[in-house]
Structure 1
């Protein structure tokens, strides 16, 4: 299943990040968020809205982890924010796969296209930014039951983004 959204500006992208955080932070086993989009498409903006809405965010400085590959944010629940841009053609270390398996951490991965699909977690929400003349277009694809429940929770509010 999928859901297509048009995000007219960065405020809408931040609002979607907040909505996702609200849903995922209440789940026993939240799906990973796998983000794919060009530079400047809104991936890190979405993560910023996500992290800043969680308890403990006042101690978190959200930025793209392009140079250090992973940022761990001291929120509740914890967030592991990976950026695979610099790993094109290389396999990430075990920290990514450990984060996928950790039920106490929400894992968000930017530039997921650099990880072969057979290495993606079974339950994940794949967010695919696509070109748009105005704002940002985003297709959210549910992969697994938990991810589908996230889409089901978002669908009634899809017009508020």
Structure 2
């Protein structure tokens, strides 16, 4: 696990941008599973991510709490999901389809409230991002699962610390 101090919203946006700029080549379904309390910065991180991609000017990033999933017209496309309203163990059919391997090749998945994702739908290769309150700021804990995710994390750290 890697920890990153996020003292303010600008740092959370910067981490999101670093994640987007560091996507590894050859991974057809990059997935980041986000866990944090309400108001901890999950959507802010997603906003930073989307803002760094081509086509971001056409994307209005908002929490997908009511839609369950927003798809942004970036390159690559980003599917931004929020499982909060589903609760533990429940999964909407349409969202289940989005999560199944191979349904959305070439898209990046950002999944908020990933703790509500049933185990059988958790991708083996993924980047887990947990955001915790830390004083006035936040602390991000990143854990890579699989070789593609490890490359993503390594590149993200290089990009984040170069820009900061």
Q: 3-state SS of the aligned residue for 2:154?
A: helix
Question: Does 2:138 correspond to 1:150?
Answer: no
Displacement, 1:99? 6.7
Q: Aligned equivalents of 1:157 and 1:102: distance in 2?
A: 27
Secondary structure in 1 aligned to 2:108?
strand
| SS of alignment partner, residue 2 of structure 2 | strand
- Distance of 1:56 and 1:91 partners within structure 2: 30
Q: What is the TM-score with the length of structure 1 in the denominator?
A: 0.90
Question: How far apart are residue 129 of structure 1 and its match?
Answer: 1.2
Take 1:85 and 1:99, find their aligned partners in 2: how far apart are those partners? 21
Q: Which runs of 5+ in 1 are unaligned?
A: none
The 2-side partners of 1:122 and 1:131 are apart by 27
For 1:21, the equivalent position in structure 2 comes to: 20
Distance (whole Å) between structure 2 residues aligned to residue 100 and residue 136 of structure 1: 34
Give the Å deviation of 1:95. Answer: 2.9
Deviation at residue 115 of structure 1 after TM alignment: 1.0
Alignment correspondent of 2:5: 6
What is the match of residue 138 of structure 1? 140
Cα deviation code 1:31-71 (max 9, x no counterpart): 30100000111100000010011111111100000001000
Secondary structure of 1:128's aligned partner: strand
Look up the match of 1:56.
Answer: 55
Q: Offset of 1:96 from its aligned partner?
A: 2.7
Q: Aligned-pair RMSD on alpha carbons?
A: 1.8
Provide the C-alpha distance between the structure 2 equivalents of 1:87 and 1:151, rounded to a whole number of angstroms.
Answer: 28
Q: TM-score, normalised by structure 2?
A: 0.89
Aligned residues: 159
SS in structure 2 at match of 1:20: helix
Report if the CA contact (8 A) 1:41-1:129 is conserved: yes
Alignment deviations for residues 122-148 of structure 1 (CA, whole Å, 9 cap, x no partner): 110000112311210110010111111
Aligned to 1:91: 91
Separation of aligned partners in 2, 1:81 and 1:41: 16
- Flag structure 2 segments of 5+ consecutive residues without an equivalent: none
For the residue of structure 2 that corresponds to 1:154, the secondary structure is: helix
Superposed CA deviations along residues 63-109 of structure 1, whole A, max 9, x for unmatched, are 00000100000000000000000000312323332477533100010
> Does the 8 A contact of 1:35 with 1:128 survive in 2?
yes
